[in-house]
Structure 1
Amino acid sequence: MTHSRFDTRLGLAVTLAVTAFLIGPVLLSVSAGLTRNYFVGLDSGLTLKWVAQVWELYADTIWRSYAVALITLGVTLAIGVPAAWVLTLYPGRLARLLEELLTLPVAVPGLATALALIVSWGSVGWLRSSVAFIVIGHVLFTLPFMVRAARAGMQGSDLRTLDEAAATLGASHRQRFFDIVVPAARSGIVTGALTVVTLSIGEFNLTWLLHTPLTKTLPVGLADSYASMRLEVASAYTLVFLLMLLPLMIGLQWFAARSTRSGGLALGAST
């Protein structure tokens, strides 16, 4: 009993230490964005002036980041979920090879992927100067996460057996995919969607090389504010970043948890 209590306390202490190490710098940065003068500290007083200045200068980067993330999510869903289903239906060497090829953009540094896109498609003027160029980069980077998460959901539900049973009853490929595969693998798909959105909004390395002055996103604007503005403005940008990102993450996690519960209930009822 004593040994168990010691392990519990040690685990709690380690958790608190890690949490303080991770959250502490963020809290300090947020507080700097709310003080009149960072070098004086809280004694200088609190203000929302820096937050208002950030919103005035960088509001377009916030909405652009949301648009890029949502478009990226739509494309990865349209490509990644069917691809995961094909890889699940036809396992083997070819499937493993295709999955490894899909993970290449994750293994390769983002700057290298961006450079490859610029060399390949940078001469297409309208594409190079549009947000679509950033979306292409984000799709390449996030697609493996969608495929892996969706495939994990499909493998865990024994969908191959259900698919074969539906096929013997005369269901078409489209009916089997939308009526059986997608609902049963919903938890994995939602997990992949959560990963795609958060990675897209926070992605910097690839976006930094692909963006133009008119297509900045949130992380690029944050780097720009740290390089060219007062520390208080850059810290206020961090605060705005968190205020825009955290509700989205919490909402997606809530939806993922709800989908997991409902998916488990539906699968149990069907069996």
Structure 2
Amino acid sequence: MNSVVRTARAPNLPHRRALTLPSLPAWLAAGQWLVTLLLCAFLIVPVVMSILAGLTVNYFQGVASGLTLRWLGQVWTQYHASVFLSLEVALATLAITLVTGVPAGYVLARSQTRLSRIVEEFLVLPIALPGLASALALLVVYGGFTMFRTSVMFIIAGHVVFTLPFMVRAVAAVCASSRLRTLEEGAASLGAGFFTRFVTIVLPNVRPGIVAGALAVVTLSIGEFNLTWMLHTPETKTLPVGLADTYASLRIEIGSAYTILFFIMTMPLLVAMQWLGVDATGQRSIRKKTRASAAPTNPPDQP
């Protein structure tokens, strides 16, 4: 009798589900996310705190002292000339690197000689050297020309030396593609001359590399400090040099407000690089185009 009752009541008892632990790949993925978030916090929190310092009335009292745009206004009044000078230097540097870097990248990508590799290594050399060393070399060679030394062209020359490798590498990476070589050979077989091929075939197809190189050149030129600090004069003070001056004033609110101004100028360039889908060598756009051209197309429906 008791066994019958236990058998009848057994289906009414709650069913206990077995607990399953996450698999090893799940633990690894969670660990990667945790490390990534901690690293992002380590990098982003100081930037956020610096921005807040430039917007607070008193840094030592924090946000409780109130928010203000006073420091931004003061920085703009004192250093707006440095902002416009930095833009002038960046645009002039971009123009020179476009005129010289695009043809150089094309030639280096097409040439397979040992001389071209040596020239490429010399072009990349300024990146490996500290900015102070490059500036010192310019001072030793051209410092005796007073008019050139005291003009903004001296800083532009230094920026061209520093940023030209980024334009050359970005363009050369695109020009090395076999697809572009095939298009050129096809145009040459139809009677197109070198200039016609370069304008109508090469330049449109290397546009991702040119855009990537241009954004890198402008961003690096605006933010370059070491080389510019060595080459500048009181009349040619750019944005990073002015930033160093504001922090030397021992007023952290002014320095942080200057950082906000610097942030406003550089962030659109970085966002543009992401939005256009290009990296420092233009390879991301190349891969996208390759995948798009290799994607199978659906044949039209047959009647």
Give the TM-score taking structure 1 as reference length.
0.92
**Other structure's SS at 2:92 match:** helix
Alignment of 1:29-44 (within 5 A): 29-44=50-65
Partners of 1:253 and 1:125 in 2: how far apart?
A: 42
Aligned to 2:235: 214
CA contact (8 A) 1:157 1:184 kept: no
Larger Rg: 2
The alignment-based identity, stated in percent, is: 55
Change in CA separation of 1:156 and 1:12 when aligned onto 2, cut-off 3 Å? farther
Aligned to 1:78: 99
Change in CA separation of 1:35 and 1:175 when aligned onto 2, cut-off 3 Å? same
Partners of 2:73 and 2:119 in 1: how far apart?
A: 48
CA contact (8 A) 2:110 2:175 kept: no
Structure 1 segments (4+ residues) deviating >4 Å? none
Aligned to 2:155: 134
Aligned to 1:112: 133
Equivalent position amino acid for 1:195 in 2: A
Partners of 1:97 and 1:144 in 2: how far apart?
A: 13
CA contact (8 A) 1:194 1:253 kept: no
CA contact (8 A) 1:121 1:128 kept: yes
Change in CA separation of 1:188 and 1:18 when aligned onto 2, cut-off 3 Å? same
CA contact (8 A) 1:30 1:236 kept: yes
Alignment of 1:232-251 (within 5 A): 232-251=253-272
CA contact (8 A) 1:35 1:45 kept: yes
Alignment of 1:3-14 (within 5 A): 3-14=24-35
Residue 63, structure 1, aligned to residue 84, structure 2 = yes
List gaps (5 residues or longer) in structure 1: none
The number of residues matched between the two structures is: 268
Alignment of 1:1-271 (within 5 A): 2-256=23-277, 260=285, 264=289, 268=293
Deviation at 1:160, TM superposition (A): 2.5
**Other structure's SS at 2:56 match:** coil
Give the TM-score taking structure 2 as reference length.
0.82
The worse-fitting range, judged by mean Cα deviation, of 165-174 and 36-45 is 165-174
CA contact (8 A) 1:153 1:189 kept: no
Partners of 1:179 and 1:35 in 2: how far apart?
A: 54
Deviation at 1:126, TM superposition (A): 2.0
**Deviations for 1:241-263, whole angstroms, at most 9, x for unmatched residues?**
10122123323442455x938x8
Partners of 2:99 and 2:52 in 1: how far apart?
A: 41
List gaps (5 residues or longer) in structure 2: 1-21, 295-303
Change in CA separation of 1:268 and 1:143 when aligned onto 2, cut-off 3 Å? same
The worse-fitting range, judged by mean Cα deviation, of 17-26 and 186-195 is 186-195
CA contact (8 A) 2:138 2:158 kept: yes
